[in-house]
Structures are given as structure tokens and as C-alpha cells.
């Protein structure tokens, strides 16, 4: 018989510790890197991970959080609390698991660099800022 899933409060208290959340997040990211497709941005060393499905609720093949759901079940944690903590950690709302590994800002910078041949730099640093 498997252990029951922790309550939302117990899950939050367990993962609210920085060391616990960091360990959980690193383990889950490693799992995602094995499950998702790695897409290289042509002509550069930049890459991102993608689930391979169109992000549309009408797409029957799209299972946006299946891996996270399974992983939280195995770890006996509340899925919704874990998803909220990950969104809080990365600073944006997630539509799909593949967005956990994707740095949208770096991807956009890479696309602009490829298109215009200029590194637009980081805001507040010398260079051209993205407005």
C-alpha cells in the first residue's frame, strides 16, 4: 500500500524550505530534460525544450502537466501547491510543462540577435535595451 499524498498545507511546509524546493526542482528539471524534445536555435548555441504539441485545449494529444502530475504523485505531494510554487519561483504562470525549462527572455534575445545581428544586452547595462 502506498503512502497517501500530503495535504496542501503539508506540501507547502515541506517545499517552502529553500533547500527542499531546490532539490525537488533540480530533480524534476532533470526528468523533464529526458522527456522533452531539445530544439536548437539555428546557427547559435542557444536551445530550448518543447513538448512537441500545439498548446491548445482542443488538442487531444496535449497533456500540459502529465509529467508534473506523475512526479508529484510519486513524491506524495499536492500537485496544485507544487505548480504554484514553481510558478512563483520562475516568475510567470505556466501553460505547459515545457515552459518550466524555457527561458523566454533568453530565447527572444537569441531570436533578435539572429534576426538583426546585434546582441541587445541586458536592461541597465551598456548596449541596446529591448523596449
Return per-residue pLDDT of the chain as tens, 131 residues: 567 888 999 999 999 999 999 999 999 999 999 999 988 877 667 788 889 899 999 999 999 999 999 999 999 999 999 999 999 988 889 999 988 887 666 656 666 666 676 666 665 555 554 55
Report the alpha-carbon distance of residue 90 to residue 92 in Å, rounded. 6
- Provide the pLDDT for residue 46: 73
Of 106, 111, 107, nearest to 122 by C-alpha is: 106
Give pTM, 2 decimals.
0.73
- Provide the pLDDT for residue 89: 87
Report the alpha-carbon distance of residue 21 to residue 127 in Å, rounded. 35
| Residues 51/101, Cβ–Cβ less than 8 Å | no
| Helix (H) / strand (E) containing 49 | strand 47-50
- Provide the pLDDT for residue 124: 54
Amino acid at each position: 500500500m502506498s503512502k497517501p499524498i500530503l495535504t496542501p498545507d503539508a506540501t507547502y511546509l515541506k517545499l517552502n524550505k529553500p533547500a527542499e524546493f531546490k532539490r525537488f526542482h533540480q530533480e524534476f528539471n532533470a526528468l523533464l530534460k529526458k522527456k522533452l524534445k531539445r530544439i536548437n536555435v539555428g546557427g547559435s548555441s542557444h536551445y530550448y525544450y518543447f513538448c512537441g504539441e500545439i498548446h491548445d485545449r482542443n488538442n487531444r494529444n496535449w497533456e500540459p502537466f502529465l509529467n508534473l502530475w506523475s512526479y508529484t504523485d510519486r513524491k506524495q505531494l499536492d500537485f496544485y501547491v507544487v505548480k504554484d510554487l514553481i510558478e512563483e519561483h520562475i516568475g510567470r504562470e505556466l501553460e505547459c510543462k515545457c515552459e518550466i525549462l524555457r527561458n523566454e527572455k533568453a530565447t527572444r534575445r537569441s531570436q533578435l540577435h539572429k534576426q538583426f545581428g546585434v546582441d541587445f544586452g541586458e536592461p541597465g547595462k551598456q548596449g541596446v535595451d529591448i523596449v
